[in-house]
Every structure is written in structure tokens, then in C-alpha cells.
Structure 1
């Protein structure tokens, strides 16, 4: 993992094992830090694509950075972190909340003439469905219960009060931004949208993934893996291979 000249130091770059073209940007889930996507980013890099993992405010080295009030503001913050046109064409991969952030990032990038080839959506409801979905919890107790229900967080870490305090700070910021989000169904990106999910995800059904189709002017596909909401933990290599194949 390295930093990239001209990019904010909190953009985590995993250079490709062999020279290639373009880059893939990784947008974490709510409360997720860049470090949680090291395995996936390494798998991308091993297949010839530089990977750049986004670090959101209120975690890790951005702990003191103010939280973005909206998803759109967060996407703009990440777009402003570097000259993305210099590494285009881009592919974007976002998991859960990260998929919606990536969608807004794609809109901004395309508006600035940056070539975004594909948006890989993982375990996320479509932007146009967010406003009508149940609001995410905002109290500490409810947020923690929701995170436990989703899985993906080591139970031993949840027993660490200091860790939980930092986790709640990050998750609460992301949930509040997500609760303010709304997007009409006629908003589209030029990039292809490829959706990924899991048969056993009790939060995001295959039908919910299909609703992303209205948001692209390009090609749309859907692929499902075994597992739950955080299926990528056990399928990083398979996901990277699918994305390499395009």
C-alpha cells in the first residue's frame, strides 16, 4: 500500500503487480475504514489494476475531519481528493452505503469529463429506493444492534469499549448522511452498472439489486455469491476475478 503523488494521503493506493491502465476505486460500507478492504484491493492489484481505497471522515487518520452532512457532500469530498482524470478510465466498487457514494462520485466525475467505465454495486439498494426505505437507526444502542445484525464486525472487537466508541462515531455519521439521501429514478450515469450480492443477504434481496438498472444508460448485470451481507469477506478473489473479466 502506498500514497499517490497529487492525492490526499488518506487515499490508499495498492499498485498493480504489473503495469496496466485505469484504476479501480473502492468505497467502503457505513462505518467501514479503508483497512477493511485491504484484501479486496490486493486482489485487484494482483490482477493488473491499481486500486484506490477511499477513507471517509471520522475514522482512522481522518478521525478529526468533520463528517459529511450528505452522501453528495461525501462524494464531492472524495472526488476533490485527487486528479482522477490522470488515472482514468475508472471503475468504481462500492459496498452497501459505499455503492450509493460511488454512484454520486460517478455523477460528479462524469460531469467533469472523467471517464467512468463501470460502477460495481455490492449489497446495496438502488439510489431511487433509499428515500422510501426505513430510516437507519441513530441512537448508539440501535446503531450497534443494527451493525451486529448485519455481521461483518468481529465479536471480540465489539467487546472493546474504545473500539465501539470509535465505530459508533463513524457509523452514526454515515447513517445520518444516508438518511438524508434522495434520488429520482430518472437520474442515470453513462457508466455500466454491474450489481453483486449474496443469496443469503437478509437485508438486500436480488430484486433490490435489480432496481439499479434504471440508473444506467449503459449495460446492466447482476451476479450472486453464496453468503450474507458481507459475502465479500470470503469471496475477495472471486469478486476481483469477475471485475477483471469486465
Structure 2
């Protein structure tokens, strides 16, 4: 049987390296890979996207090539990564990839837009607003050279997240699990549960100690929830096939 790949989609300003420690934490349960968006890490010199659907459409060929023929995947995305993963789930299904689950984190349902925004603010106000949203400040922003590289990407990411409108109103036929930090001041429990309307399959919800960026310290626990969710989905599929 083809190995299932856990495809991780970075949040605003982040790159694939955030998820590298998850490869060890996955303990052989999946092959862990990540979407590589332009404007960061190995693609630092490329122009970042400013539209979520365009980012998904522009990434899908590389994702399909990385996953391989007959691939099975579970998608994970946090905040901006959640809506990008949602768009990718639609596109991958159309490309014959078996999407076994979508795990969204720190995100309201795809049809809910943020009321408070950071895009378009002057640099210092923008950074203060992002720090307020996230609950922490990336130390690299305190170094002028790094800030010069990171700031345009972070601004582009916030712009595409805050202007996001789903490309389709058709729900996924894929189980969705929505995760949230228990004291997330950016996304309420009610908003995180809105994802139930985005699927015709199963829906589950879980909370972790912490704020919007809880996953920085909770990689192992997040992966355990994803594993449990995958097991439930597999058991449901098995029951359906056997007629139980």
C-alpha cells in the first residue's frame, strides 16, 4: 500500500523548515513534506503570491510531483495555511490524489473574513498588529537585514489571507478536523467549528493549551491528534466497505 504523506502548508511568513522537526515527531506514521511557497527559504528571491487561490493553483503541480503517482495524503494548515490547504484539497482531488483528511488550525471557516486587519498599514503598525494577532514577535524581525527579507513576504501573506474568498462553495467530501489554541484571541471556538460546513464527510474539533501560535510548542500533540483522526477515518472507510 502507498505510504500516506502528511502535507503541511505554512502559515504567514513561515517556510517549510518550520515543519522539519515534525519528520522525527511523526515517528514513521507518515512521510512529512511541505508546500514551498515563493518568497521564502529556497525560493527567497521569487515574488510572493497575494492571492490564496493563485498560490494553490501555482503550487499544485509541484505538490503532485512530490506526492507521486497513486498518492494518499492528509493536509495540515495553520491560519493562512488552513485556507490554502482547503484550496489545495479541492485541486488535488481533481488531480487524482486521494485526500484522506484535512486538518485546519487557528482558522475560522473559509467563508468568514477577519474584521481586524493588518494589510496596508505602515511597516511599524503592521508589525505591531501582526504581533498582537500572533501573540509573539519573530526575533528575526529585530535584525535589519533579516527584516528586509521577511517583511515583504509577511505583508504579502497577510494581504492574501485577509482578502481570501473561497474559489468554490462546494464542500469537500473529505473529513475535516479543526484545531485551536484554547485562548486564541484571533479565532473563537464558534469560528473554528465553522469548518463543519465545509465538508460532507466527518468533522472533529480539538483544543490545545495556548494562544493562536500554540502549535509552536505542540507539534507532537498535534501529530497525535492527526493520527487519531486518520485512524477514525480509516475505520469508517473499512466499515463502509464491509457494509457494517
TM-score by length of 1: 0.84
Task: Give the Å deviation of 1:224.
Answer: 0.2
**What's the counterpart of residue 147 of structure 2?**
164
In structure 2, how many angstroms separate the alpha carbons of the residues matched to 1:205 and 1:121? 14
Answer with 1 or 2: which has the greater Rg. 2
* Cα separation, partners in 2 of 1:174 and 1:212, compared to 1, 3 Å: same
Q: SS of the residue aligned with 2:112?
A: helix
Task: Give the Å deviation of 1:68.
Answer: 1.9
* Cα separation, partners in 2 of 1:190 and 1:67, compared to 1, 3 Å: same
Q: Where does structure 2 lack aligned partners over 5 or more consecutive residues?
A: 230-244
* Cα separation, partners in 2 of 1:134 and 1:185, compared to 1, 3 Å: farther
* Cα separation, partners in 2 of 1:234 and 1:69, compared to 1, 3 Å: closer
Q: Is the 8 A contact 1:89 1:117 kept in 2?
A: yes
Compute the RMSD of aligned alpha carbons. 2.0
Q: Is the 8 A contact 1:91 1:120 kept in 2?
A: yes
**In the TM superposition, what whole-angstrom CA distance separates every residue of 1:104-134 from its partner, at most 9, and x where no partner exists?**
000111122221010000101111112x644
* Cα separation, partners in 2 of 1:128 and 1:100, compared to 1, 3 Å: same
Task: Give the Å deviation of 1:213.
Answer: 0.8
Q: Is the 8 A contact 2:70 2:97 kept in 1?
A: no
Alignment match of 2:127 (pick from 138, 144, 149): 144
**What's the counterpart of residue 16 of structure 2?**
34
* Cα separation, partners in 2 of 1:235 and 1:218, compared to 1, 3 Å: same
Tell me whether 1:63 sits opposite 2:44 in the alignment: yes
Instruction: Return 200-209 or 183-192, whichever deviates more.
Output: 183-192
Matches within 5 A, 1:56-135: 56-81=37-62, 82-83=64-65, 84=67, 86=69, 88-130=71-113, 133-135=115-117
Matches within 5 A, 1:10-29: 21-29=3-11
Q: SS of the residue aligned with 2:221?
A: helix
* Cα separation, partners in 2 of 1:55 and 1:158, compared to 1, 3 Å: same
How many residues get paired? 225
* Cα separation, partners in 2 of 1:41 and 1:187, compared to 1, 3 Å: farther
Task: Give the Å deviation of 1:143.
Answer: 2.3
In structure 2, how many angstroms separate the alpha carbons of the residues matched to 1:133 and 1:37? 29
Q: Is the 8 A contact 2:70 2:96 kept in 1?
A: no
Q: Is the 8 A contact 2:119 2:162 kept in 1?
A: no
In structure 2, how many angstroms separate the alpha carbons of the residues matched to 1:181 and 1:121? 15
Q: Is the 8 A contact 2:37 2:43 kept in 1?
A: yes
Q: Where does structure 1 lack aligned partners over 5 or more consecutive residues?
A: 1-18
